[in-house]
Amino acid sequence: MIKKVLVANRGEIAIRVMRSCREMGIETVAVYSDVDRKAMHVRYADDAYPIGPAPSSESYLRMDKIIEVAKLSGADAIHPGYGFLSENARFAELCQKEGIIFIGPSPYAINTMGDKITARKTMIAAGVPVVPGTTEPIRDIKKAIEVIKGIGLPVMIKASAGGGGKGMRLVKREEDIVNAVSSARSEAKASFGDDAVYIEKYISSPHHIEFQVLGDQHGNIVHLFERECSVQRRHQKVVEETPSPIMTPEVRMKMGADAVAAARAVDYYGAGTIEFIVDDNLNYYFLEMNTRLQVEHPITERVVGVDLVKQQINIANGLPLEFKQEDLSQNGHAIEVRIYAEDPDNNFMPSPGIIKHITEPLGLGVRHDGYAYVGYEIPMYYDPMISKLIVWGETRKDAIARLKRALYAYKITGVKTSIPYLHRIMEVPAFIEGRYNTHFIEENQQYLQPRAVCTERCMDVAAITAFVDYITKLERLQPDKPQKHLGNNWKDFGRKRSVLRF
C-alpha cells in the first residue's frame, strides 16, 4: 500500500492532492522550482526537494529529476496533478520501470487517447458517437477536398496530436481548404512535432459537456455524471457547473453509458474525463478523453459526494471500486469559477506580483482551493490561475446566489484578478436562465464590460484597516482629545471609502 506520495506539481492542485493524502495517513513530498521555494505546496508537504530553475522544461517537466527525488525521499508513488507530466505516457512508463506507482491510467490508455485519430477509430469501434469526419490522417489534398465535399462545409481541420484548440482550423469556403490544411499542419508540426491532421464536420453552436469516469484495475468502470463547461474564453474554461442546465435524465443515462463504453474501450483505470460536444437538439459526439484529474473536478466531488483524489489513490493501490453505478447520484447543484491573476479590464493581461492582502470567502456551501498567501509572489512562469471557488446549493438558483455572495466577500490586492469579471458573468441573463453554449462570452460582451462605479457599502478589510490607521493617527496627534466625533462606527468610514466594481 502507498505510504508516501511525491506530488509532481505546484499551485492549488499540489495542495489539493496533499490534502487527501493527509486524510489517508499518507506522507507527502513536494518538488519545487527556484521561484517556488516559498510556495504554499512546499510548506504543506512533509518533505520538499528543489528540482531546478523556473522554466517548467527545467523543473516540473524533468522526469529524470522527479524520479530521482522519488527514490531519494522514499516515495512509493507519484501523483502528477493536471498539466505538466500528467498525460505523458513515457513518464507513466518510466515510473513503472523504476518501480514507482504512477497515480493515473496505463501508458496504453494515455497513448491511445492522446492521438485523436486513434481515439476516434477506437470510439467508432466501441459504438460511441463521434463527429462525422475522417478516421485517417489527410495525406493527399485532392482526396481531402473530395472528403470535405462529401461531409459538407463548414468543417474543422484538427491536429491529431492536438486538443484544447491548438492546430485547429474552421473552413467555411471550398477555396480556403488548401490553406487551412497546410496552416493547421505546420502549426501541429511546430507545437507537437506531428503534422497529422484530420477532418470533422463543424458543429455550429455546441455545448461542451464532459463526463467524469472512474475505473479500477479489475475492469469496473462507473461514471460520476456530467460537467457543463461551455463558458470558455479562448479555450480556457471560466465557469463550470453540474448538473448541466440543458441535460435531461434520458440523455444523461445514454451519455453516461457511452462515457463508460469509451473508457472501457481502452481498459481505462484511474480518473478520466470524456469530452462531448452537444448540439441544441442534444445530439452528442465524442470529442476527446482527458486521461487525468481535471481542474474542475471539485464540482463533481461536491454533487456526487466522492473524493476523486482518494479514489485515484485507492485505484493505484489495486483496490476495487467501493461503489457501483446504481450507488451514485447527483445531489443539488455546484458551480466552480476560476480566479486568474489577470486584468479583465485590460484584455486579460497577466498580472503577476506580490499578494498584499487576501480575504478568502467562507461559509455554508463554499469551498476555496487556492495556494496564495499574503507576501507570496505569483510567478510569471506558470499558469496564472490562483484559485478556484466552488459553491454548492440545493438548486441552481441557490448556487448562483451563493457564488455571488462568495465573490462579494473575496478580496485580493496586489495583483489584478478576474473576480469582478466572474461577478459580471453571474448577472448575464443567458447565464441566469441556463441558456448558453460555447459562444456565451462572445455573444454577451455587452454585459461583460467593466461597469460604472457602484457606491454600495463595502465593509472590506481594506476599509477597516484604513479606518483604524486614521483613528490611530488622530490619537497620536491629539492624545488628550477623545476621538468621539467618529464614534466607533467604522461602517461610516467603510461606506465613504468603498468602491465596489463588478
**Non-local CB neighbours of 211 within 8 Å, separated by 6+ positions:** 223, 224, 225, 226, 227, 255, 256, 259, 273, 274, 276
- Burial group, residue 381, by CB count within 10 angstroms (0-12, 13-18, 19+): middle
Nearer to ligand MV4, 106 or 134 (CB): 134
Question: Residue 114 CB, nearest distance to ligand MV4 (Å)?
Answer: 13
Least distance (Å) between residue 381 CB and ligand MV4: 25
Residue 91 three-state SS: helix
Please give the residue ranges that form the binding site for ligand MV4 (CB under 6 A).
Answer: 131, 156, 163-165, 200-203, 206, 208, 232, 235, 277, 287-288, 438
Pair type for strands 77-79 and 101-102: parallel
In 135-202 the beta strands, taken as DSSP E runs, fall at 155-159, 169-171, 197-201
Helices 249-264 and 116-126, interaxial angle, to 10°?
A: 110
The CA–CA distances, whole Å, from 473 to 348, 479, 481 equal 38, 10, 12
**Minimal distance, residue 207 CB to ligand MV4, in Å:** 8
d(CA 66, CA 62): 6
Tell me how far, at minimum, the Cβ of 439 lies from ligand MV4, in Å.
Answer: 8
Nearer CB in complex with ligand MV4: 233/457:
233
Between 130 and 403, CB nearer to ligand MV4: 130
292 counts as catalytic: yes
Give residues with Cβ within 8 angstroms of 466, minimum separation 6. Answer: 493, 497
Of residues 10 and 237, the one with the C-beta less far from ligand MV4: 237
Looking from the CA of 59 toward its CB, the CA atoms found within 13 Å total 20
Q: Which of 149, 195, 197 is nearest to 173 (CA)?
A: 149
Rounded to a whole number of angstroms, the minimum distance from the CB of residue 287 to ligand MV4 is 6
Q: Which one from 252, 292, 302, 367 is the annotated catalytic residue?
A: 292
The residue (of 88 and 438) whose beta carbon lies closer to ligand MV4 is: 438
Q: Is the CB of 161 or the CB of 287 nearer to ligand MV4?
A: 287
Other Cβ atoms closer than 10 A to 121: 15
Do 176 and 202 meet the contact criterion of CB atoms below 8 Å apart? no
Q: What is the nearest approach in angstroms of ligand MV4 to the Cβ of residue 392? A: 24
Q: Which residues are catalytic?
A: 292
